[in-house]
A and B are shown apart, each in its own frame.
Chain A
Amino acid sequence: MRRLLIGIALGFMALFVVVPLATVFASAFRDGISAYVHALGDSEARSAIKLTLLVAAIAVPCNVVFGLAAAWAITRFQFPGKRVLVTVIDLPFAVSPVIAGMLFVLLFGARGWFPGSHIVFAVPGIVMVTTFVTVPFVARELIPALEARGPAQELAALTLGASPWQTFWRVTLPNVKLSLVYGAILCTARAVGEFGAVSVVSGHIRGETNTVPLHVEILYNDFHYQAAFAVATVLVWIALATLVIEQALRWRMRRRR
């Protein structure tokens, strides 16, 4: 039984994660390291990487702040519209990313409600649509963590004379730090990897509104297979970097105890 379970877990991981990942790297380095470096040094590739990092650098903090506020409000207060808020947080998971992109085109496009706003087919639209599709991650991690702890420690802090802000920074936040970091990592992964929604609002202007996933597709469709895989490895590096940051934070927290 034990062997079977471990076998299934390892076999599945190997087949669906390790093999494809290895293929990406094998194809990226197929023509040697210099070809790999050359593909990443290309000006369009560099601008795609920059745009992707910029988008993540805006979308992730926005969702960390929103996720904290929403999760705290939902788990600690009663207010009208609370159940609607809980449902709306999940909406971006329920809606197809392509539809999400089209929503923004409908709102801000040439025939939309705010025509001439230079949002769609430009960087602001990409940031907005990425923020939209990554809304649930942080809040979804924090709500169960805050619920499990309950308000007792926060009430204790208040009886000891702490202001609500002091209570938040010194009691609430440290208690859910790991959940917050995990939510932010999932959020980052999705923000840098999002294809469908971004594809709809981007307009595919090379060197201007192409993110890494969009650029990979363009290269692939142009039969630049090696370059496509080389740029794709950037997403793997970003994912690895966030995981390293997570582990470092965990390590620091454990050491402080």
Chain B
Amino acid sequence: MQVEIEALSKAFGEYPALDAVTLTIPEGELVALLGPSGSGKTTLLRAIAGIEVPEAGRVKFGGIDVTEVPIQRRQIGFVFQDYALFEHMNVGDNIAFGLSVRRAPREEIAARVRELLALIQLDGLAGRMPRELSGGQRQRVALARALAPRPRLLLLDEPFGALDARVRRELRRWLRRLHDELHITSVFVTHDQDEAFAVADRVAVMNQGRVEQVGTPADVRGQPATAFVREFLDVQE
């Protein structure tokens, strides 16, 4: 499903978090929102999800305006930065949640949970509580939970932010493979250019609530469009 963001604006008090952002997320692509902290990338992601309400502009899913549609009807999957797993439910119930609130048949839910546990390579851990899992495992459970109801769009907020370097590289490769298998339109937020360039089909570089440049990793790296992009990429290298 293609996502179009048209002139989206949002301010927190005096501070403009999004300044007339326009961006298209093509169907089936994995897009990174890259930028320093305070650049508006997380606000943009949350606005796409409906968690933040924009002051101006539109968000369209597959050509349909969803700006006024509440979060629970947007059919999205969202992976939160700290995962936000339901601490009082075991892994299986966490993954089943999105299906059970839709009152899906019991057998269908059980089959889907098994399928996803296999996908995230945590078979046999359905009965564990979230607090008994490692950071990387929690991350994957959060992803499986988001994928379970078959969302039209997957949004990930700093998906690897809280993990150590080794687990991070592993999960990065795994997410890329997963996307190649599922082809679900996905957007993830990161402040780490290596991560953005290694995983994404397309990178949108953000600064001060504006999109500075959009392009494939090769384009952005090869021809930085603005002084900010050049500087931001240099600083990190």
Taking a contact as CB atoms under 8 Å apart, the answer to whether A152 and B80 are in contact is: yes
Please give, as numbers and ranges, the residues of chain A lying within 8 Å of B145 by CB-CB distance.
156, 160
Residues B36-63 near A (CB distance < 8 A): 49, 51
Given contacts A158-B72, A161-B149, contact A170 B101 (CB under 8 A): yes
Given contacts A159-B77, A159-B146, A160-B149, contact A166 B101 (CB under 8 A): yes
Please give, as numbers and ranges, the residues of chain A lying within 8 Å of B87 by CB-CB distance.
153, 175
Whether a CB of chain A sits under 8 angstroms from the CB of B29 is no
Count class of interface residues, chain B: 20 to 34
Minimum Cβ distance to chain A for residue B166 (Å) = 26
In whole angstroms, how far apart are the Cα atoms of A155 and B129 in the complex? 20
Taking a contact as CB atoms under 8 Å apart, the answer to whether B101 and A163 are in contact is: yes
Whether a CB of chain B sits under 8 angstroms from the CB of A157 is yes
In whole angstroms, how far apart are the Cα atoms of A257 and B93 in the complex? 12
Question: Residue B71 contacts which of A152, A158, A166, A174 (CB distance < 8 angstroms)?
Answer: A158
Taking a contact as CB atoms under 8 Å apart, the answer to whether B72 and A162 are in contact is: yes
Instruction: Give A154's nearest chain B residue, CB to CB.
Output: B84
Give the size of the chain A interface in residues (CB under 8 angstroms).
Answer: 18
Please give, as numbers and ranges, the residues of chain B lying within 8 Å of A160 by CB-CB distance.
72, 77, 97-98, 101, 145-146, 148-149
Taking a contact as CB atoms under 8 Å apart, the answer to whether B76 and A159 are in contact is: yes
Taking a contact as CB atoms under 8 Å apart, the answer to whether B80 and A161 are in contact is: no
Can you report 21 residue pairs joining A to B where beta carbons are below 8 Å apart? A152-B80, A153-B84, A153-B86, A153-B87, A155-B78, A155-B80, A156-B80, A156-B86, A156-B145, A157-B97, A158-B70, A159-B72, A159-B76, A160-B101, A160-B146, A161-B72, A162-B97, A163-B72, A171-B86, A175-B87, A257-B129
Q: Chain B: residues with CB nearer than 8 A to chain A?
A: 49, 51, 70-78, 80, 82, 84-88, 97-98, 101-102, 129, 145-146, 148-149
